[in-house]
Amino acid sequence: MLINPIFYNVSQNSDEWQSLRCGKLTASMFSDLFMDKKTKGYQDIITKVAFEKVTGKQQKNFSGKWLDYGHETEPEAAENYEIETFNSLENGGIWVINEYVAASPDAKIVGQNAGTEFKCPAISTYREYLDSKEKKGIVELPKSYLYQVHGQMLCTGWDYVDYMPYYDHSLKQLLTRVYRDESILKEIVYKIEDAIIDIDNLIIKIKR
């Protein structure tokens, strides 16, 4: 798969940002490509992308309370990251590598070939992160997020992504630097290429 990213400096959740994501596999979906092809999760992704490509209409995302909370809290999480790390951030925009694949990381780290991914979880999940760090010395990323941040590195060419769950600045802070792993990137590319075949086959089936 040829990877030649084009960067669009657009605001997250803007109309242009949504339009650029329409009909594409994005990094947050990559973990679903590792499911068995017969599962609803895998089929939903293939269906979403195929239908969006044919119609040009993006499937509506019916936000839940935690998704809304995450969007509202993300600017606070980014500010907290800058205070904790002394790094400055700039817009992550959206990176499009072809007509099927894109990634929209939360932010790019100024002066470094790297970016960030923030999650704003429920307090029970945040405690699990704290317990993990206490027991193992590191914050273990769920597999879905590991594929997501590697998907971002695939699309951007970055060397690493700083993954940071956030709830409040009064708590112990959690930061994991995830360096690009070429073996994981190869796995993702294989799954993407396989999914594109399924998308194209479904387009043939549904298009007038």
d(CA 188, CA 83): 33
- Identify the pLDDT of residue 56: 94
Per-residue pLDDT of the chain (208 residues), as tens digits, is: 667 899 999 998 899 999 999 999 999 999 999 999 999 999 999 999 999 999 999 887 655 666 666 678 899 999 999 999 999 999 999 999 999 999 999 999 999 999 999 999 989 999 999 998 999 888 888 999 999 999 999 999 999 999 999 999 999 999 999 999 999 999 999 999 999 999 999 999 999 9
d(CA 180, CA 143): 15
Q: What are the DSSP calls for 119-140, one per residue?
A: E---HHHHHHHHHHHHHHSS-P
- Residue among 93, 110, 91 at smallest CA distance from 102: 93
- Identify the pLDDT of residue 85: 96
DSSP letter for 11, please: -
Question: What's at 8, amino acid-wise?
Answer: Y
Domain boundaries, the chain: 6-206
Q: Which two tokens stand for residue 166?
A: 């956030």
The 10 Å Cβ neighbour count of residue 203 is 16
- Identify the pLDDT of residue 59: 80
| CATH number of this structure's domain 6-206 | 3.90.320.10
Q: Which two tokens stand for residue 112?
A: 């470094």
